[in-house]
Amino acid sequence: MHHSMKLAGVDLGWKAKGTNSAVAIGELQKNRFCITDVITSLTVDEVTKALFAHSNIFGLGIDAPLIINNYSGQRTCERLLSSDYGNRKASCHSSNLTHYPDPTGVDLAKKLLLKGYSHACLSDKFIIECYPHPTIIEIFGLSERILYKKGKVSIRRYGQKYLAKLISKLSKSLILMLDIPDNLRSFVSPAKIDNLKGKSLKENEDALDSIICAYTAALFKLNLQSQTFGNKQDGYIYVPQIHCI
């Protein structure tokens, strides 16, 4: 694989209304992954448009439930992942069709399947459901999840700065080197994050998640050590099992 391959990461909002989705797009060449674009503040419809504007995306990592068949409780994949990562504070939210009668991830997955993508398929154009918290724990070798999503602004800022520093360290990874060009470096700049609050802090969080999802898609494509919880029938979550720094 000496030619480059375009991959994307999607942090998808769970509600159809609202502009809290983000997309990161990158090029994979051997074991080097270069982010080429990050778009934030998207509605779910805008995500679909942004992805379809790039006709040659080979694979996507998506942070949202892509398959939901259960009407109540948790999906099996969520239960299995939570039993492995609960003690590291990285359990799953529960998704079911009562809670989410019109799930955005399932809708996006259906549209992508119609475009010729397959679930977690190495030999063809693929989509995978991923989950940033356990992925971050694994690729950075952490003991528990980073608190960057909930709580006071100061806690979320601190968590984002910590995550941004770790993401920047991937530029020296021997497993999969991550290259973020200067025009996109503000997303992983601790000094920049220090000044964010409100909507702009949330937008940056979404951007970081989309970068992690894109990186996860690249790890999947390289077929490195991983664990997939659940199955393609009733829902699955792909988690890399390799330290990248």
Q: What is the pLDDT of residues 118-164, one digit of tens each?
A: 999 999 999 999 999 999 999 999 999 999 998 899 999 999 999 99
3-state secondary structure of 142: coil
**Cα 139 to the chain's mean position, in Å?**
13
For 198, counting Cβ atoms within 10 Å of its Cβ (0-12 exposed, 13-18 middle, 19+ buried), the class is exposed
Q: What is the rounded CA–CA span in Å between residue 197 and residue 202?
A: 8
Domains of the chain: 5-235 (3.30.420.10)
User: Residue 210 is encoded by which pair of tokens?
Assistant: 């989309």
State the chain's mean pLDDT as an integer. Answer: 95
Contact present, 223 and 241 (Cβ < 8 Å): no
pLDDT per position as a tens digit, 5-37 = 999 999 999 887 888 999 999 999 999 999 999
- Bridge partner residues of 57 (DSSP): 6
pLDDT per position as a tens digit, 163-189 = 999 999 999 999 999 999 999 999 999
Q: What is the rounded CA–CA span in Å between residue 19 and residue 205?
A: 13
pLDDT given at position 1 = 47
